[in-house]
Chains A and B, each alone.
Chain A
Amino acid sequence: MQQIISFLIKNKYFLLFLFLEIIAISLTIQSHSYHKSKFVNSANLITGSIYSNFNSVGNYFHLKEYNAQLAEENVRLKNIIAKNNNQESSKPFTKLDSLIYQQKYTFISAKVSRNDYTKSNNFLTLDRGRNDSIQEELGVITSRGIVGVTTNVSSKYTRVMSVLNENSRINARLINNTHFGTITWDGKDYNTLQFEDLPRQANIKLGDTIITGGKSTIFPEGILIGTINKFEIEDNKYKIINVYLFNDMSAIGHVNVIINLDKQEIRALENNNE
């Protein structure tokens, strides 16, 4: 017994070091598994409020840029309306029936108060949280395309797993046919994502647009992602397909969070089948 105590006293610094080191390493390991980084993240009240205070000053310098983005989005939306109006006008009369009409998605605007893009696992922090009805696993987009998926939510802040994260997997498809695959990131260039699992029979060309596939409850179908800027074929399979993002991930100001109103219904149905 005495030997044990004297051993402890003799090595007390080493034991303290070992103890703290084990805590630190286990926090790191936890942060690398997809859902578990509950404790150390930037969505808590202290870090969140510091980041949003910093950001409220910085935002003034980007107003011009945001205006240009909004104008761009307006043009895109007006074009969509213009397209639909043409189709409608051929029909004699349409009556809106409130029983048939059903809203599937609702959008919440939020401001990015922190954005990483230089690491191998990047996250963003938003200045909205559970109080603004944001939950975990919701899609985050800008007018130009996808940004990420929410992972941790506190009462006022949200941490978003960026598409620039090695754990990120997003269902996507080509705009001109319905073959779908998965969008991932290899951790190298923050403008380029990888499009995987695309079947060989899907013909692709450089410059083809990739959009979200709508096969999950997170993103609705048709959100812009990017264009193909490089692909290689090996053994009659697509080896690499690089997708150049429409979004500039290094300059993200305002985003929209997408809430899928049918999520619970879809989940319940899918769980029933298992």
Chain B
Amino acid sequence: MGYINPLVYILFIFLYPINKEKGLLLIISFLLGLSIDFFSNSGGSNAAATLLIAYLRLPILHIIQNKTEFDYLLFDIKKLNFLQILVYIFSLTIIHHIIVFTLEYYKLQGVTQIALSSFLTSLLTTLLIGFSIALFVKNK
């Protein structure tokens, strides 16, 4: 469509401490998505997508780190290497964007459009989230 609107608000999912209550994260991310929906007239698509990546966050971290159990208390996103951070952010972002765009277009004829929009927007969102984490997460 000629426009790319990055959805940087999902940065919240990456910054939410991993050792905190899991149920609370689900509820907060649902409300976060819903508040975005209120402003952008998009029904519940952002809420659905944000909730899904909040739920998938831990399983994906497990896969990336290649461990079945890891230390929740000591986990720090900056301790991952660059490639791991990139895969972590990009995989969650693209899942989120595919859900948002699918629910927004809401018909099968738009498959190429959905794929293209979600891929391009994910690139920009990943870039912006990467920068935000580099800038705002404190080095310990």
Contact = CB atoms under 8 A, between A and B. Distances in A.
Interface of A: 12-14, 16-17, 20-21, 23-32, 37, 40-42, 44, 46-47, 50-51, 116, 118-121, 123, 159, 187-188, 190
Q: Which of A28, A46, A116 has the most CB of B within 10 A?
A: A28
Interface in B40-67: 40-45, 47-48, 51-52, 55
20 contacts: A13-B22, A16-B23, A17-B26, A17-B51, A17-B52, A21-B48, A23-B30, A24-B33, A24-B34, A24-B44, A24-B45, A24-B48, A31-B43, A42-B38, A50-B39, A116-B40, A119-B42, A120-B105, A120-B106, A187-B110
Contact of B42 (A17, A26, A31): A31
Where chain A touches its partner, the secondary structure class is helix
Contacts of B33: 24
Given A28-B44, A42-B40, A119-B42, 5 more contacts: A17-B52, A23-B44, A25-B48, A42-B39, A119-B104
A123 B23 contact: no
Nearest 4 A/B pairs, CB to CB? A31-B43, A27-B44, A24-B48, A24-B44
B95 to A, nearest CB: 13
Contacts of A17: 26, 51-52, 55
A41 B26 contact: no
A167 B23 CA distance: 37
A31 B39 CA distance: 13
Contact of A20 (B3, B27, B105): B27
Contact of A24 (B2, B40, B51, B105): B51
Contacts of A116: 40-41
A13 B22 CA distance: 7
B1 interface: yes
Where chain B touches its partner, the secondary structure class is helix
Interface residues of B, number: 30
B1 A188 contact: yes
B26 A13 contact: yes
B110 A20 contact: no
A100 B41 CA distance: 45
Nearest to B54: A17
A81 B30 CA distance: 57
Contacts of B22: 13
Q: Which of B22, B38, B44, B48 has the most CB of A within 10 A?
A: B44
Contacts of A12: 23
Given A13-B23, A21-B51, A118 B43 contact: no
Nearest to B48: A24
Nearest to B45: A28
B112 interface: no
Contacts of B37: 27, 40
Interface string B112-134: 00000000000000000000000
Contacts of B44: 23-28, 31, 40
Contacts of B38: 40-42, 44, 46-47
B19 interface: no
